Amino acid sequence: MRKITNINFSITNACNRRCADCSYNSPNKPSNHVSWSYIVYAAQFFKGYDINITGGEPTVHPCFCEFVPHLRDLFQCNVLGIETNGYGFTRFPEIFRYFDYIHFSHYLFDEDNYGQLEYLLKKCPDLEKHIIVHVMKKFISRNRIGGGKMCDIGTSKTIAYTDGVIYPCCIGDGFDGAVGVTLSKNWEKELLKIKIPCHKCFLSWN
């Protein structure tokens, strides 16, 4: 049976980039930021799970630095991570010390993108061991028809929470036809009834 251990928790749909192949489909969503009360309410259902803060680009949230120091205690999580394109590295490098890992999206076609990581490591060299670099090598059209096999960013242990809905896939509602459940004490039982919809996703493999 599938065992859920990780929550991709989106705190904003906004992003500083406009990537046409964004797995979260951020360019086509309203640039909404969640409130602290939204996070507090959701946290009561996710206590004890590993939490990965996502977006959009999470560091563009205007209250990012205010929220982050309280997240570990709020969720009572053993692992707190973040997925980012590095937007915040040059703006508030010290805040990244709160994370157990930093999943950095490196765009090979953008030298400034990697320069942000270099700046972070210059300011906080001890964070190097916490960096996971995901190299964005090529464009994948959102019109592509996937083959149905789980992609390289997916894992059956990870689900997504975005805009008040829990989705069985780590990218949440990043593709058309995504189906999820609302928060309740039985959310995990209800979510496990939904098959991970790789057959509908443009990122899935043949």
Distance between CA 63 and CA 70 in Å, rounded?
12
**Do the beta carbons of residue 161 and residue 10 sit within 8 Å?**
yes
Most confident by average pLDDT, 24-28, 177-181, 196-200: 177-181
Between residues 84 and 109, the one the model is more confident about: 84
For the four alpha carbons of 180, 140, 158 and 105, in that order, the dihedral sign comes to: negative
Confidence of residue 83 (pLDDT cuts 50, 70, 90): very high
Helices marked H in the chain — which ranges? 36-43, 64-75, 111-123, 187-191
Tokens of 70: 């309280």
Q: Which domains can be identified in the chain, with CATH numbers?
A: 6-200 (3.20.20.70)
Q: What is the pLDDT of residues 107-151, one digit of tens each?
A: 877 767 889 999 999 999 999 999 999 887 665 666 776 677 776
pTM: predicted TM-score of the whole model, two decimal places: 0.91
